[in-house]
Amino acid sequence: MIFRLKTVLMAAALAVVFAGAALVAGATDAAEVYGSAARSLPIYNVERTDNKISISFDCAWGVDYTDSLLQTLEKYNVRATFFAVQFWVEKYPGYVKKISAAGHEVGTHSATHPYMSRLSETEIKAEMTSSVAAIEKLTGKKVELFRPPYGDYDNLLIDTVNAMGIYPIQWDVDSLDWKDLSASDILARVTERVKSGSIILCHNNGLHTAEALPLVIEALTARGFTFVPIGELIYRENYRIDAAGKQISNAT
């Protein structure tokens, strides 16, 4: 009888423990969901109805295909945004000047291309300040945009960059050119995903990017899209960013 009573009491105690654990787990899940919704986000794309889009190129390794990219952009009268790492800027200052002189926008892609979510606020500011200064010295133009290396960020990074008066920019259309996809595969990926307000991610030294670029421009222009630099795509004030990273004007 005593043994049975002990068994019943133990089972009841275990039930309470498991119920408590379930409640804690449920609370954790809810916190994660709400934390995600409240997370500080970069701009992935912009809510627009005018079919304006942006194409961007990250510059960190080499310049093998950059002249070809610039020639194509000039041919089609397209202005783009280039995000440059400081060590690339210092290695290829002539290209930074050439890109800027052609009417393209130059933003920072950090100083040393680190995973910036692992940095302190002081380290983030150092990366930003140093890389911005290097670009502005060559172009004579204010740097207003930043793309995190590897697309890696956290609240501290986004909040710090915003506080410095610089817009953190991500993308919603990844060409995957860094995987050395063929020109036709890059074309298919981009054209299948683009919508009004999209930001397209490419790399200046992608193996087939220069080959794909005229195909992409022609296909999207034929569909009624207009290319503008990211600085002209985004809203500068009176906006919000939803949980998916879409920048939305509060005026609409």
Catalytic residues: 58, 203
d(CA 109, CA 146): 6
**Residue partners of 68: CB distance under 8 A and separation at least 6:** 210
Q: Could you tell me how far CA 212 lies from the centroid of its own chain?
A: 21
Residue 156 contacts residue 121 (beta carbons within 8 Å) = yes
Q: Could you tell me how far CA 133 lies from the centroid of its own chain?
A: 21
DSSP 3-state of 110: coil
User: Which three-class secondary structure string do you get for 30-82?
Assistant: HHHHHHHHCCCCCECEECCCCCEEEEEEEECCCCCCHHHHHHHHHHCCCCCEE
The secondary element (H helix, E strand) that includes residue 202 is: strand 199-203
DSSP 3-state of 106: strand
d(CA 53, CA 111): 27
Question: What is the pairing mode between strands 239-241 and 246-249?
Answer: antiparallel
